[in-house]
Amino acid sequence: MSVPPLTPPASGRGIKVEAGASLAAFIWFRTGGPAKTLVRPDTAHDLAAYLRDLDPSTPVLPVGVGSNLIVRDGGVPGVVVRLPKAMAKVTVQDGRVRAGAGAMGISVASAARDAGIAGLEFLRGIPGTVGGAVRMNAGAYGRDVSDILVEATVVTRDGSVETWSAEKLGFTYRHSDLPAGAVVVEAVFSGTPGEPAVIGAEMDRIAAEREASQPLRSRTGGSTFKNPEGHKAWALIDAAGCRGLTRGDAQVSEKHCNFLLNLGSASSAEIEALGEEVRDRVKAHSGVTLEWEIQRVGEYLPSRLREGSGEGGLDTGISHQPLPRPLPQAGGEQ
Ligand SMILES: Cc1cc2nc3c(=O)[nH]c(=O)nc-3n(C[C@H](O)[C@H](O)[C@H](O)COP(=O)(O)OP(=O)(O)OC[C@H]3O[C@@H](n4cnc5c(N)ncnc54)[C@H](O)[C@@H]3O)c2cc1C
């Protein structure tokens, strides 16, 4: 028997629409410009109805908690979709976990542990939502979403609600074939039977290891670059002398040099330009071209000069106000 869907049947048009909403208020880096339009649907069907009526030329960008995102300083044109708490429920039935795409990885891992389902522990260490994890094929410790995903419910850009198999999602390393503008609203995961105490101990081990090796309490975007075939990105970055490198208030983390940090008042342009500088230095030192894992979205501020390296924009020293909210605690609910 399958887990009953969390998505209620189509109701009225329940959707909050806000013009010029801040994304820096919740994106992990705490930088970047606003969304031209931010929408928060009550249900998948409300989202589908909204997208059906939206001009097909308007770009749509789903966001989770921005733990793998640089939002450029000029903001995001079109529509940004953020799922509400109501779309973050997690239920378990018959050895499968069904999660709203707004749920955090830790909630999914914890529900699986409580139900004695092993194999989802790695989600404990990924401080993003289910939607972001499916889109990014997030993973750690030799496992990723493609190993546990049964199916995902997707609202397409033209407003249909569809069930996509893992095969259809075309997962490869930190990649899915989800088309631009498609929003994951639910996912079903499976694992293998396990002892809750053993699963819990593994989750604790993961949490402790993360605490020791990653700058979890910093304004960061997680791993900046994908590990190139046969290499570790951090080792290439270290060997190229980039550990601790700064540009304005952006820094290559001393603790884990595949992480970039906003030390306080960095702009997104500074963070991105620092990333491009790291790519140049690694290419010059080892001949390897690093590929961005962090998703870079939105527009550069027109007032900022463009620098010749890659797509990076050069910051011209515009200072940012102190960030509005306390930092998220990695692994916790955000
Ligand atoms: C401290 C730290 C540690 C991390 N460790 C890991 C790790 O071990 N392994 C790993 O893989 N990642 C890791 N990350 C990166 C990040 O947590 C994952 O990529 C996560 O899956 C992103 O989820 P999010 O909700 O924050 O997505 P966002 O950063 O908001 O978005 C990322 C991408 O997903 C898309 N997206 C978001 N929600 C949806 C949705 N509902 N439907 C469709 N697309 C959507 C966005 O458009 C964007 O392209 C880490 C990040 C941090 C800050």
Q: Give how far Cα 176 sits from Cα of 10, 169, 262, 291, Å.
A: 28, 6, 28, 16
pTM of the model as a whole: 0.89
Residues 29, 64: one domain?
yes
Q: Tokens for 304, please give them.
A: 């900022």
Residue-averaged pLDDT of the chain: 89
pLDDT in tens, 204-235: 999 999 999 999 989 999 999 999 999 999 99
Coil/strand/helix, residue 114:
helix
- Average of pLDDT values for 64-70? 98
333 lies in a domain? Answer: no
Confidence of residue 35 (pLDDT cuts 50, 70, 90): very high
CATH of the domain at 140: 3.30.465.10
Ligand 1, pocket residues at CB < 6 Å: 28, 61-69, 83, 101, 125-129, 131-133, 135-136, 138-140, 178, 183-184, 214, 216, 220-223, 295, 330
Residues 50, 81: one domain?
yes
C-alpha 110 to ligand 1 mean position (Å): 18
- Residue identifier of the C-alpha nearest atom 52 of ligand 1: 222
- Average of pLDDT values for 153-158? 98
Give the residue numbers spanning the domain of 97: 86-199
330 lies in a domain? Answer: no
112 lies in a domain? Answer: yes
Last residue of a domain, one of 85, 116, 136: 85
Residues 96, 71: one domain?
no
On the 0-12 / 13-18 / 19+ scale of CB atoms within 10 A, 230 is exposed
User: Would you tell me the crossing angle of helices 196-213 and 105-114 to the nearest 10 degrees?
Assistant: 150
Closest ligand 1 atom to Cα of 83:
41
- Residue identifier of the C-alpha nearest atom 4 of ligand 1: 222
Confidence of residue 307 (pLDDT cuts 50, 70, 90): very low
Residues 109, 76: one domain?
no
Which residues have a catalytic role annotated?
A: 174, 223, 293
Last residue of a domain, one of 70, 85, 100: 85
Look at residue 302 in the predicted model and tell me its pLDDT.
Answer: 74
For ligand 1, pick from 65, 68, 148, 253 the residue to mutate: most ligand atoms within 8 Å of CB: 68
C-alpha 42 to ligand 1 mean position (Å): 22
270 lies in a domain? Answer: yes
pLDDT in tens, 88-145: 999 999 999 999 999 999 999 999 999 999 999 999 999 999 999 999 999 999 999 9
Please give the single-letter amino acid code of residue 84: P
H helices of 165-267, in order, are 166-169, 196-213, 233-239
Provide the domain count of the chain. Answer: 3
